[in-house]
Amino acid sequence: MEKILNHNIDKYKEELLQSIIEVVNIPSVKGEAKEHAPFGENPKKALLKALDIAKDLGFKTKNIDNYIGYAEYGEGEDYIGVLGHLDVVDVGEGWKSPPFNAEIRNEKIYGRGVLDNKGPIMSSLFALYAIKQSNLNINKKIRIIFGTDEESGFSDIPYYLKHEKPPILGFTPDCKYPVVYGERGRANILLTIKYSDENYEEKTKEFFYFINEYILLSKSNGERLGIDYSDKEFGTMEMKNFKAGIKDSHLIFHMSLSYPATVNIDGILEKIKLKLTDNIKLKLLLNYNPIKFEKESFLVKSLQKAYEDITGLDGTPVTTTGGTYAKVMPNIVPFGPSFPGQKGIAHNPNEYMDIEDIVLNAKIFANAIYNLAK
């Protein structure tokens, strides 16, 4: 089975690379919402292109109001889901070649979104194509799901779940290898103090004394706030992404928290409130709870086996400090596409993927999908 799938991936390599180039060349940064284009015209164009490619490969496809769409293979009510995204972050400066005109140099494809996440989700589509062309027996329907709002708030997933039930198992190829069995929680909080012209100096001193004393002069684990939670699996609390400002007669301070699964957000906020003065207010702007799967679960073990069988590398499951669609789509874990040691590529100028890695990803994904669906 493994040889058959790998052979088909190699057979369709050029088609895979061309499909990646076609979707990378669409500048799918989130834009102004319009009728029939909830995240702007370009994310919609990327979705339509991906669905057209899937349709040409012989898959059933569905576009859910240009929020999200999928390619489908197999029969039955329950399905295995592979969920990636076609939207990308802004370009930034420092590119050696046009970011939306994918270029192959030194056996790498360069372009915004080639790693995050157009290359991996198109590799997943061709992984499913390899299964389809191999006529292998599977017992579950499979969907490759193309999201369009991962970079700006995950609002495509609640819309999907209003119209479709979630997968029973699956993965998102938008993180790293080996299989990730747990993600930290992520929260954005806002601290404010109201002032008037008469008491501006007094309130400023009070507010920034607190910010300096308990946040800026603290270690990044939040020890002065009493929130320095830590565990062996998920590591230590992190405070980051600080931003101060003034708005509507309020001094404001934003920060984000990345926290381990041993604590919940309510416990964290209660600890912080113990340090606040009566005038300083705390507001939770956003929270995604940690996720954690059993390392011995069928899902995790199946993906671990696919990774080890194809690469020969140690596939011991890991955790991540990042945040993926796994936060909002039930029953999926992060899996790929970056191999150990590959960091600092996504979201940066000259984003790239090695062609060898693109093909290797497709082989891993094909075996993983088959392990889950057989």
Give Cβ neighbours of residue 138 (< 8 Å, ≥ 6 apart).
74, 131, 370, 373, 374
DSSP one-letter code for 87: -
Residue 18: phi and psi, rounded to 5, are -65, -40
Residue type present at position 280: I
> Does the pLDDT at position 2 exceed 90?
no
> Does the pLDDT at position 242 exceed 90?
yes
| Closest by CA position to 253, among listed 319, 197, 208 | 208
**Confidence at 334, pLDDT banded by 50, 70, 90:** very high
Q: What is the pLDDT of residue 151?
A: 97
Could you identify the residue written with the tokens 């991906």? Answer: 50
What's the mean pLDDT in 346-354?
97
Does the predicted model carry a pTM greater than 0.85?
Answer: yes
Q: What is the pLDDT of residue 39?
A: 98
**Confidence at 322, pLDDT banded by 50, 70, 90:** confident
Hey, what are 21's tokens?
């180039």
Hey, what are 358's tokens?
């693109």
Q: Using an 8 Å Cβ cutoff, are 192 and 254 in contact?
A: no
Q: What is the pLDDT of residue 222?
A: 97
Could you give the residue numbers annotated as active site? Answer: 87, 150
> Does the pLDDT at position 338 exceed 90?
yes
What's the mean pLDDT in 222-247?
95
Hey, what are 54's tokens?
């899937």
Q: What is the pLDDT of residue 125?
A: 98
pLDDT in tens, 271-295: 999 999 999 999 999 999 999 999 9
> Does the pLDDT at position 1 exceed 90?
no
pLDDT in tens, 294-310: 999 999 999 999 999 99
**Confidence at 324, pLDDT banded by 50, 70, 90:** very high
CA dist., res. 10 & res. 174, Å (int) = 22
Q: What is the pLDDT of residue 177?
A: 98
Counting beta carbons within 10 angstroms of the beta carbon of residue 225, is it exposed (0 to 12), middle (13 to 18) or buried (19 or more)? buried
What's the mean pLDDT in 333-362?
96
CA dist., res. 1 & res. 305, Å (int) = 14
Report H helices in 114-199. 119-134, 156-163
DSSP one-letter code for 167: P
Could you identify the residue written with the tokens 């934003």? Answer: 254
Report H helices in the chain. 2-11, 13-24, 41-56, 119-134, 156-163, 200-211, 265-273, 298-311, 355-373
Strand partners, 250: 194, 247
What's the mean pLDDT in 104-123?
97
Residue 256: enclosing H or E segment and its boundaries? strand 250-259
Q: What is the pLDDT of residue 58?
A: 98
What's the mean pLDDT in 252-258?
97
